[in-house]
Structure 1
């Protein structure tokens, strides 16, 4: 039997692409050659999940280490430096207590903005509700695309964004019917963040149907009666958008 490390590059890449991310992470630790190839695949998709009952956030230290180890999958900057270079919001600076303290909330937003090769991003609804730096980062970076002189490469490879709810995947069908409507009714929808996603330059698929039996479109319609519809004065073009689910 031929050792995995001795397989042709084409065959190795084919195996890596079809390997589940959890297994791929373990496989990447076996040798340098495999790790160099696996990192590119692992960074095509990043899922951030948030448990509101847990005081600790998701384990991002391994993600940070991989970025610093292989700059090609993201910008090569130390974490503290990345926080200092957090994109500006309109005319203000990224200067608040969370950023200065190096809080994990700020870190997650910076991480996503610095992973320039990400093609698919899944964001838990709990993360959007409890992390105000992430929506601020989205608005500030997307705002630069509206500036004729703003040249940047953030989100150019991001084709798919999904809003999810982790707990919804662990309930029984009976629990779904009983709890979804009540949860959604008391959920503060991050409407402005949703609308900001339409400004992504090359997005093809926006999936916000994290509860299959509950529609968020009514909440957006209600919210637009009180606020400006779009996040910026200029409406999004969304030429590449082909699939939209609410």
Structure 2
């Protein structure tokens, strides 16, 4: 034994430097893992002063992922048509402007929400979701789209009303102008008639004034003649004394 140890020492002295450093350092060995299926039977395990306890491996618990809420997705028009015909949808919200409308519908059986856009009462576009937080933005999007599409209809209705108002005002103005023209015409006719009548009246007055003057002159003449005759007659009357 001593000869072997001395021989080992001589070999290490002649060995390279990195081998001599490892030889002086303690060597650590990794203990191999012992699996449950590799465990020896109880009869085959040798009895030692200290035995290593081996814990059998167990399957790790995998956390179960909860299904996420259903997001927004497209839906078939026939699907909503059929549900509407069956009368199984509840109307949560609705909006209408001219020929465009939007509705937020709910299908209680499947807990599904439908955001529907209509045109002239017919289903145009549909989006569905399994959560109200996803269906509400879709409904508001369709409301904004309906309002944007109805803007042209709104402007057309306003312009039609304005044109009708202008046409009515034009007709009323033309009728009023015609009435004023008639009044002016009638006034002109009346003016002419009054002028002619005033001319005739003035002529008649002149004639009457001439006749009055002639009659007055004749009357004065006759009165003078009568006075002269009376004076002549009075001259022939004798002057008789007055009896007392």
| Bucket of the pairwise TM-score, normalised by the shorter protein | under 0.3
Larger Rg: 2
The structure carrying a bigger helix percent of its residues is 2
The structure carrying a bigger strand percent of its residues is 2
Question: What's the TM-score once normalised by structure 2's chain length?
Answer: 0.15
Which of the pair has the greater relative contact order for Cα pairs under 8 Å at 6+ separation?
Answer: 1
